[in-house]
Amino acid sequence: MKIDHEYLKGLLEAFEASGEPQTDIFKLQSLGFDYQTQEFLFHMRLLKDRNLIARTDGSYGFGFSEAADGGGSWGALPLRLTAGGHDFLEAIRNKEVWNTVKTGFKDASIGTLVDVSKRLLDGFLQKKIDNILGS
């Protein structure tokens, strides 16, 4: 399965939109992200792999328990965006960063997306700072 940039961005925004310091799969579902889909599981695994989301108690996982038969079950654990998750979301909310990522990095891995987004945002911010300072 390939990373869906729009889905990934929307999922991060749904974490933030919970209005509380944490969320869970039911709150995410109410915001349009059905936890029973393969797309949801795939993107949640990517977010966890990069430590962009975490359980509020610091334990490993995000609520999915895989079964030996290839199925699995969900538990509604309290989850949060980590500082890195907020940083990544900040970067991809920047229109210039987002457009560059969507067009120039269509098939990039999650690691590349996070790294490139941060570097692009840093570059755009540096340009703004230079303009403000007249450099």
Tell whether 69 and 99 lie within a shared domain. no
Q: What CATH number did the domain enclosing 34 receive?
A: 1.10.10
Which residue range is the domain that position 47 belongs to?
A: 5-82
Tell whether 98 and 58 lie within a shared domain. no
Query: What's the pLDDT score for residue 70?
Result: 78
Full-model pTM = 0.90
Report the alpha-carbon distance of residue 53 to residue 114 in Å, rounded.
13
Tell whether 67 and 128 lie within a shared domain. no
Q: Which of 82, 103, 125 is at the close of a domain?
A: 82
Tell whether 18 and 60 lie within a shared domain. yes
Tell whether 33 and 99 lie within a shared domain. no
Report the alpha-carbon distance of residue 17 to residue 38 in Å, rounded.
22
Tell whether 23 and 75 lie within a shared domain. yes
Tell whether 94 and 77 lie within a shared domain. no
Write the Ramachandran bin of 70: left for phi over 0, alpha for psi from -120 to 50, otherwise beta: left
Tell whether 74 and 42 lie within a shared domain. yes
Q: Which residues contact 107 (CB under 8 A, 6 or more apart)?
A: 2
Q: What is the mean pLDDT of residues 83-111?
A: 93
Q: How many C-beta neighbours within 10 Å does residue 89 have?
A: 19
Number of separate domains in the chain: 2
β strands within 32-85, DSSP E: 53-55, 64-66, 72-74, 79-81
Tell whether 18 and 75 lie within a shared domain. yes
Question: What is the band of 40 on the pLDDT scale with cuts at 50, 70, 90?
Answer: very high
Tell whether 72 and 127 lie within a shared domain. no
Question: What is the band of 56 on the pLDDT scale with cuts at 50, 70, 90?
Answer: very high
Residue 135 has pLDDT above 80, yes or no: no
Question: What is the band of 68 on the pLDDT scale with cuts at 50, 70, 90?
Answer: confident
Tell whether 75 and 117 lie within a shared domain. no
